[in-house]
Amino acid sequence: MKRLKNVSNKLLLQLLILFGVVILIFLLGTSYSVLFYGTIFPVLQYVRFGLFSLVPWSVGDLVYGLALVYLIYQVFLFFKQKKFLLKSQWLIALLQMSKLALVMTILLYLFWSALYAQDTLSQRLHLSSSDSVSPNKLIAFDSSLIHRMNILAPQVDSLSLMLCDSLAANAYHDLGLRFNTQTKRSLFARALPFLGISGYFNPLTGEAQIDDKIPNFLLPFLMCHEMAHQIGIAAEDDANLMAYICCAESRNPTFQYSAYFNIWLYVHSKVYAMDSLEAIHLRRQLHPISLGHINLIKSRQAQYHTFWDDWSNYVFDVFLKMGNQSEGIESYRNVAYSALCWEQKQLDSVSKRKR
């Protein structure tokens, strides 16, 4: 009994210290976020890339896998040793889980969530506000994307994972960004579709993992999206915008098509919500290859949709809202506006050079 009391007192002291760290982080807030993005994250990512890029498989996935095995083993011991029969053991288990949750929260903030406080990519690129996007502009953008997709659809090629990764990294280098980028096939690639996940960034190791079996017309955009997280872009709509810019600026037709197709999905859904008849009219203009791509996406969604898909979306939605992304998972769709504003800025720049 004395030993159990000492253990519980020790855990309570550790929890008190961790709560103090959380309060300190809350007080520092924006100051740490600015320091993290400008100074700490670039160095941290440089070191992590130097270490883990040498390993062909995902180190982060291995860490996650071992952590899951350890937790399952501890639960197994809890019941095998009949600790569940003692109320004191339940209290200790609760304190240990609370400690783990606080440690993970602190690490996640220190290694990643602080990036959510930075200016949006639209602000850094000096793009117009999304409020300036009228329904007519969005409809015109929908039509423009369809026109470009129709030209590129017959040229879409099946790129190997290695080649696609290399082209995506080159697209970032061509934009003059100082970060090194790389994607890896997730060790959990076969399970990801059932969770509604195509790729993700590991905030602890700085690795970008993907499901290498997603269709070739989605792969370039997905890779560039996860690479956006590797260069310190946290918000999902910003990562989508960065992926759009990289793919659209690429000289590879598959990358260009991937940019236009992925953004068109977001734009078209908003057009449909405003004017369903106009959206249907526009959709009929799509090339048969693109219509086939849409059907393939629907088929995959139906094939892999499970309870776990809904559950993971809910968890991720909560996570994004905790990171000051008030719209949660819906924030992905905001790229429909920011991509249009970026396009408009490009056109304005061309017009100024011609004068």
**4 has a pLDDT exceeding 60:** no
Domain membership of residue 37 as a residue range: 2-117
Note whether 44 and 90 are same-domain residues: yes
Note whether 190 and 219 are same-domain residues: yes
Tokens of 284: 């009929």
Which residue has tokens 């026109």?
147
How does residue 314 score in pLDDT terms, banded at 50, 70 and 90? low
Note whether 150 and 89 are same-domain residues: no
Note whether 191 and 314 are same-domain residues: yes
282 neighbors 271 (Cβ within 8 angstroms): yes
Number of domain units in the chain: 2
Q: Which residue(s) pair with 200 in the sheet?
A: 209
pLDDT of residue 2: 55
**For the whole model, what pTM was predicted?**
0.87
Domain boundary among 117, 141, 160: 117
Note whether 143 and 271 are same-domain residues: yes
pLDDT digits (tens, 9 = 90+) for 177-193: 778 889 999 988 888 88
Q: Which residues contact 88 (CB under 8 A, 6 or more apart)?
A: 1, 4, 8
Q: Between 27 and 260, whose confidence is greater?
A: 260
Give the helix/strand (H/E) hosting 126. Answer: none
Note whether 91 and 168 are same-domain residues: no
- Beta-carbon neighbour count of residue 282 at 10 Å? 20
**351 has a pLDDT exceeding 70:** no
Note whether 324 and 266 are same-domain residues: yes
Note whether 67 and 161 are same-domain residues: no
Domain boundary among 117, 134, 159: 117
Note whether 136 and 64 are same-domain residues: no
97 neighbors 301 (Cβ within 8 angstroms): no
Note whether 276 and 328 are same-domain residues: yes
List phi, psi (to 5°) of 209.
-105, 145
Note whether 206 and 346 are same-domain residues: yes
Domain boundary among 70, 96, 117: 117
Most confident of 57-61, 210-214, 229-233, 258-262: 258-262
Note whether 105 and 182 are same-domain residues: no
Q: Enumerate long-range contacts of 244-251, CB under 8 Å, 24 or more apart.
A: 244/335, 244/339, 244/342, 245/175, 245/342, 246/168, 246/171, 246/172, 246/175, 247/171, 247/220, 247/221, 249/171, 249/174, 249/175, 250/167, 250/171, 250/220
